[in-house]
Amino acid sequence: MLGDFFTRALVAGVGLAAVTGPLGCFVVWRRMAYFGDTMAHSALLGVAISILLSINMTLGVFAVAALVAGALLLLQRQNTLSTDALLGILSHSSLAVGLVLVGFLTQVRIDLMGFLFGDILAVSTEDILIIYGGGIAILVLLALNWRPLLAATVSPELAEAEGLKPEISRILLMLLMASVIAIAMKLVGVLLITSLLIIPAATARRLSATPEIMALVAAVLGAASVIAGLYGSLTWDTASGPSIVVAALLIFLLSLTVPTARLFGRRENHGA
């Protein structure tokens, strides 16, 4: 009989996958994988600042990730460095500053490995409520803004011509990513969040004919990765977070054996 901790881990992981799947599709379509890493690395800085200021850790991580996203937008407008260079600076700097601040917090015992790689088996009922509450809010915002987000992804110029304000869509997407990173940090850790965003979405892209179907398939594949990874972790006594990512990788490799013809939905020529 599985313990309550394992059941809570399954429930929390499936709820997180339902959010990271659709959001990860935009990460894949927009080629934002490195940006996802930058946001994830900033989470550790958010943890350190939250402890220093004695504020809620989820809110602290979200605030820092949002500030990093805002800094990227401002620096991009100056046109002094390429986007990948800016992302490299922000990513490694925020991670390094976070680690340095953690080093100064000698009066507080911090599970650094837990923050880096997560501990989904330690999830509490309160964590589940945060995941599902925040996840539902993210999915609702994503659904309400699906058309402008998708249009801005396919062609920012066309979206601008149609009055859909692609810059606002970009800011919204960054804030949604900051939100999901804040609620996912405790489960899979700051170094593995991007994998859960990208791998199921990349797998779904090979199997889906439309953006909407791809978002749904990505969520299902993410949930399957969580379930397979947790049971694999239980069977072979491996770390739960990395096991989930390995399961997602195996599903992706398995998908490579499937012909490129889309399995879900009718084929359409869409830009995403």
Q: What is the mean pLDDT of residues 53-81?
A: 90
**Which burial class, exposed, middle or buried, applies to 254 when counting CB atoms under 10 A from its CB (0-12, 13-18, 19+)?**
exposed
Per-residue pLDDT reduced to its tens digit, 112-170: 777 778 888 888 898 899 999 999 999 999 999 999 999 999 888 888 888 888 889 99
The Cα–Cα gap between 183 and 221 comes to 20
Using the structure block, give the residue that is written with the tokens 């979405």: 201
- pLDDT value of position 179: 93
pLDDT tens profile 240-250: 989 999 999 99
| C-alpha span between 91 and 173 (Å, rounded) | 18
Beta bridge partners of 167: none
On whether the CB atoms of residues 252 and 205 are closer than 8 A, the answer is: no
The pLDDT tens digits for 157-208 are 888 888 888 889 999 999 999 999 998 887 888 778 889 999 999 999 989 9
Is residue 233 over pLDDT 90?
A: yes
Q: Give CA–CA dist 71/42, Å, rounded.
A: 12
Neighbours of 4 (CB within 10 A): 8
Altogether, the residues listed in the chain come to a count of: 272
SS (H, E, C) 133-202: HHHHHHHHHHHHCHHHHHHHHHCHHHHHHCCCCHHHHHHHHHHHHHHHHHHHHHHHCCCCHHHHHHHHHH
Main-chain dihedrals φ then ψ at residue 264, nearest 5 degrees: -115, 120
Task: State the Cα angle at 198 between 155 and 49, rounded to 5°.
Answer: 100
Whole-number Å distance between alpha carbons of 98 and 271: 38
Handedness of CA 170, 175, 178, 179 (dihedral sign): negative
3-class SS of residue 208 = strand
Question: How high is the pLDDT of residue 117?
Answer: 81
What pLDDT shows up at residue 192?
Answer: 81
pTM passes above 0.85? yes
Q: What is the pLDDT of residue 7?
A: 93
* Nearby residues of 92 by Cβ (< 8 Å), 6 or more positions away: 41
Domains and CATH numbers, the chain: 4-255 (1.10.3470.10)
